[in-house]
């Protein structure tokens, strides 16, 4: 499969997930604290899945399809990641208004994974801004930082999705044990569907980012015996070098 089809598939799947999450938000009320109406926690899932994960995935894919100059692509990438960071911060903040206060968030794996991914994301955004956009650094420093930027960015993306999976599981377990939601019901199907959709999206986005473009597999043989092959194509990240 060509790289272009992967990008297209990833963006389509992202759209489907966004629609399903909004549908879940609007129609399946039991998940979203029905007795209290619209609350801070109500929008946590929306901000985290759509604002953080989906927007961040779009930002990763920008370099693969957006036409225009290098500068435009980098500006859009930075801007979208900024929107994702802001959503993540507001999404975390909504949880600080919950019944038991801020510190109730520090006893679960979901919270720790979330705190880790948002902190890393913030650090990554600032470092990316300084070393790529600000252009204050010499080319050599940026060349050394690049594989770390790419690796860390994709790692954080995966970690955010893993955190979402734990969040979905916590929510469903809570509904099943505290509110007697049956194991087989529309809401469980929708929630598990979003979970599996995110797992697939993660694969598509990372594959689009790292696998070589079709017809672009540049292979350099350094010797007959042990060819030296660079198979992952990161040239698209070097627009400004």
Residue numbers of the site for a second copy (CB under 8 A)? 107-110, 112-113, 116, 143-144, 146-148, 150-151, 155, 158-159, 161-162, 165-166, 168-170, 172-174, 177-178, 183-184, 188, 191-192, 195-196, 199, 202-203, 206-207, 210-212, 217-220, 226-235, 237-239, 241
Nearer to a second copy, 22 or 219 (CB): 219
Nearer to a second copy, 38 or 180 (CB): 180
**Nearest distance from C-beta of residue 37 to a second copy, angstroms:** 26
Nearest to 4 by CA among 67, 89, 73: 67
Nearer to a second copy, 37 or 177 (CB): 177
User: What contacts 197, CB < 8 A, 6 or more positions away?
Assistant: 13, 16, 17, 20
Nearer to a second copy, 37 or 222 (CB): 222
- Paired tokens of 200: 């697939």
**Nearest distance from C-beta of residue 147 to a second copy, angstroms:** 4
Helices 139-178 and 186-210 sit at what angle, rounded to 10 degrees?
Answer: 170
Nearer to a second copy, 28 or 86 (CB): 28
Distance CA 111, CA 105 (A): 6
Q: Output 5-13 pairs: Cβ under 8 A, ≥24 positions apart.
A: 6/204, 6/207, 6/208, 6/211, 7/61, 7/64, 7/65, 7/208, 9/204, 10/57, 10/61, 10/201, 10/204, 10/205, 10/208, 11/58, 11/61, 13/197, 13/200, 13/201, 13/204
CA angle at 207 for the pair 55 and 8, rounded to the nearest 5°: 60
- Paired tokens of 171: 């929510």
**Nearest distance from C-beta of residue 17 to a second copy, angstroms:** 14
**Nearest distance from C-beta of residue 38 to a second copy, angstroms:** 26
- Paired tokens of 166: 């734990």
- Paired tokens of 149: 């930027």
**Nearest distance from C-beta of residue 16 to a second copy, angstroms:** 17
**Nearest distance from C-beta of residue 9 to a second copy, angstroms:** 15
Nearer to a second copy, 76 or 169 (CB): 169
**Nearest distance from C-beta of residue 95 to a second copy, angstroms:** 16
Nearer to a second copy, 36 or 144 (CB): 144
């Amino acid at each position: 499969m060509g790289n272009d089809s992967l990008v297209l598939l990833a963006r389509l799947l992202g759209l489907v997930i966004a629609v399903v999450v909004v549908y879940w938000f609007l129609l399946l009320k039991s998940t979203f604290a029905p007795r209290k109406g619209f609350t801070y926690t109500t929008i946590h899932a929306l901000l985290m899945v759509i604002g953080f994960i989906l927007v961040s995935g779009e930002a990763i894919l920008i370099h693969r399809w957006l036409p225009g100059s290098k500068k435009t692509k980098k500006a859009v990438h930075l801007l979208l990641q900024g929107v994702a960071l802001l959503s993540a911060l507001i999404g975390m903040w909504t949880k600080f208004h919950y019944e038991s206060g801020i510190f109730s968030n520090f006893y679960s794996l979901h919270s720790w994974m979330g705190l880790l991914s948002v902190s890393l994301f913030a650090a990554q955004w600032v470092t990316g801004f300084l070393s790529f956009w600000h252009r204050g650094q010499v080319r050599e420093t940026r060349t050394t930082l690049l594989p770390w930027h790419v690796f860390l960015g994709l790692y954080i993306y995966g970690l955010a999705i893993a955190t979402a999976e734990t969040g979905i599981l916590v929510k469903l377990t809570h509904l099943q044990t505290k509110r007697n939601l049956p194991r087989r019901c529309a809401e469980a199907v929708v929630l598990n569907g979003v979970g599996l959709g995110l797992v697939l999206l993660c694969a598509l986005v990372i594959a689009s980012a790292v696998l070589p473009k079709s017809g672009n597999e540049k292979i350099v043989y350094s010797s007959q015996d042990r060819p030296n092959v660079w198979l992952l194509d990161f040239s698209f990240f070097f627009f400004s070098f």
